[in-house]
Amino acid sequence: MKKFRIRIDPMALEDIQRITDWYNQQQEMVGKRFQDSTIKQINKLAKDPNSFAIRYNEIRCMQVKKFPYMVHFYINEKLGFVDVLAVISTHRNPKIWEEKTKRP
């Protein structure tokens, strides 16, 4: 089984930090739990990113466990990368997902 390298777009890192800060404002340590869960799951993408269905424009999504957020990512099979493009609330309009995760 091929192992992929993970690249997290700076905008996705900003998403994670913004969400972490918001949760920490709501209740102490919830942000840390969100961040730990998200990073742990992103790292698991290195082993089998193809197990997640394509949702739109070759973008796949993975639910963050116990939180209403999805990690949006693209698999570059040729180069062996998983590019994490965004972490977006499941409550947001899907059109926002497409705008936020447009690839150059």
Q: How many distinct structural domains can be found in the chain? A: 1
- Res. 102 pLDDT band, cuts 50 70 90: low
Q: Which domain holds residue 25?
A: 5-100
What was the pLDDT predicted at 2? 77
**How does pLDDT run across 62-100, given as a tens digit for each residue?**
999 999 999 999 999 999 999 999 999 888 666 665 666
- What the block records as the tokens of 49 is 């990113």
DSSP 104: -
Q: Where are the alpha helices (DSSP H) in the chain?
A: 10-26, 30-44, 94-100
**How does pLDDT run across 19-58, given as a tens digit for each residue?**
999 999 999 899 999 999 999 999 999 999 999 999 888 9
**Which CATH number characterizes residue 75's domain?**
3.30.2310.20
* pTM to 2 decimal places: 0.86
